[in-house]
């Protein structure tokens, strides 16, 4: 289920670093639009009082701690080991996120209940959310298999919850559009370039899910090497 000490430090740092590289453009956008400079921002981030306020905020706890931990535990740590022996690793990586995407359909009922928009807009928004949560679920499933740890997917999930979906339209209209779009492109390019090296299973020790598949007689698991 991804709870082990072997290789835990690279499993915590490298997937998060990889995800932050993918979000290079949005991170640049955030820094450009932030009224405070880097030094002031670091003071706020490192201040114990700021963390204390976050820990008292139930919405922050839900989005940054509870949801990433419980969702990754259920849809990666529990579901993948059940699906993979039946379907193989490749199909499991793409099947598991479908359940993860459907699990977010409760937002439809919330929006319909409070009449937040038209019915068509609500269902269009739900379809879009299903699409990107399914893609994200495939990514964290890939991370879980390649690292053999749960901590990496949880940290990446928390980071992505904080960042939200990249505001590409706002970037296209930004006063510093050219360097910002270059940051978006560079982030995607570096992410694709570093995806395999930074998730190399050799960095994380033995992979429990791959061992499980070997015991089940599946010797061909390209994601395990």
Q: pLDDT, tens digit, for every residue of 96-137?
A: 888 877 776 666 666 666 666 676 776 777 788 888 888 999
DSSP per residue, 5-51: STTHHHHHHHHHHHHHHHTHHHHHHHHHH-SS-HHHHHHHHH-HHHH
pLDDT tens per residue across span 201-211: 889 887 777 77
Q: In the predicted model, is pLDDT for residue 220 greater than 60?
A: no
What pTM was estimated for this model as a whole? 0.86
Residue with tokens 């981030």: 45
pLDDT given for residue 152 in this prediction: 95
Total domain count for the chain?
A: 1
In a domain, 103, yes or no: yes
- Percent of the chain at pLDDT exceeding 70: 83
Select which of 6, 72, 104, 106 is catalytic: 104
Q: In the predicted model, is pLDDT for residue 43 greater than 90?
A: no
- Decide: helix, strand or coil at residue 124: helix
Domain encompassing residue 98:
8-216
Select which of 71, 72, 149, 157 is catalytic: 71
Q: What is the DSSP letter of 217?
A: T
Asked whether the CA dihedral 122, 101, 29, 185 is positive or negative, the reply is negative
pLDDT given for residue 82 in this prediction: 86
Asked whether the CA dihedral 80, 81, 87, 91 is positive or negative, the reply is positive
In a domain, 225, yes or no: no
Which H/E stretch holds residue 148?
none
104 is catalytic: yes
Quickly state the pLDDT bin for 194 (edges 50, 70, 90).
very high
- Please provide the average confidence, as pLDDT, over all residues in the chain: 84
Region 39-52: mean pLDDT is: 72
Region 148-167: mean pLDDT is: 93
Angle formed at CA 21 by CA 18 and CA 26, multiple of 5 degrees: 135
Cβ–Cβ < 8 Å for 105, 129? no
pLDDT given for residue 85 in this prediction: 80
Nearest to 141 by CA among 131, 130, 152, 132: 152
Which H/E stretch holds residue 57?
none
Count the neighbouring beta carbons within 10 Å of the beta carbon of residue 198: 19
Count the neighbouring beta carbons within 10 Å of the beta carbon of residue 56: 9
pLDDT given for residue 151 in this prediction: 95
For the record, the structure tokens of 81 come out as 């080991």
In a domain, 221, yes or no: no
What are the backbone angles phi and psi of residue 115, rounded to the nearest 5°?
Answer: 55, 50
Give the C-alpha separation, 171 to 165, whole Å. 12
pLDDT given for residue 107 in this prediction: 65
Quickly state the pLDDT bin for 42 (edges 50, 70, 90).
low
In a domain, 175, yes or no: yes
In a domain, 223, yes or no: no
Region 65-90: mean pLDDT is: 88
């Amino acid at each position: 289920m991804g709870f082990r000490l072997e290789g835990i430090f690279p499993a915590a740092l490298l997937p998060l670093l990889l995800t932050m590289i993918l979000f290079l453009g949005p991170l640049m956008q955030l820094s450009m639009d932030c009224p405070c400079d880097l030094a002031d921002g670091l003071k706020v981030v490192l201040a114990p009082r700021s963390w204390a306020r976050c820990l008292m905020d139930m919405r922050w706890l839900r989005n940054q701690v509870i949801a990433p931990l419980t969702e990754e535990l259920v849809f990666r740590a529990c579901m993948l080991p059940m699906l993979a022996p039946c379907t193989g690793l490749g199909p499991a990586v793409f099947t598991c996120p479908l359940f993860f995407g459907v699990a977010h359909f409760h937002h439809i009922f919330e929006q319909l209940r409070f009449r937040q928009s038209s019915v068509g807009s609500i269902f269009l928004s739900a379809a879009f959310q299903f699409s990107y949560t399914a893609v994200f679920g495939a990514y964290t499933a890939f991370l879980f298999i390649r690292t053999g740890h749960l901590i990496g997917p949880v940290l990446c999930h928390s980071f992505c919850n904080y960042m939200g979906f990249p505001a590409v339209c706002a970037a296209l209209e930004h006063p510093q559009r050219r360097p910002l779009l270059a940051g978006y492109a560079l982030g995607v390019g570096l992410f694709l370039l570093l995806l395999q090296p930074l998730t190399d299973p050799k960095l994380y020790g033995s992979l429990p899910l791959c061992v499980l598949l070997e015991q089940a007689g599946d010797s061909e698991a390209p994601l395990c090497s």
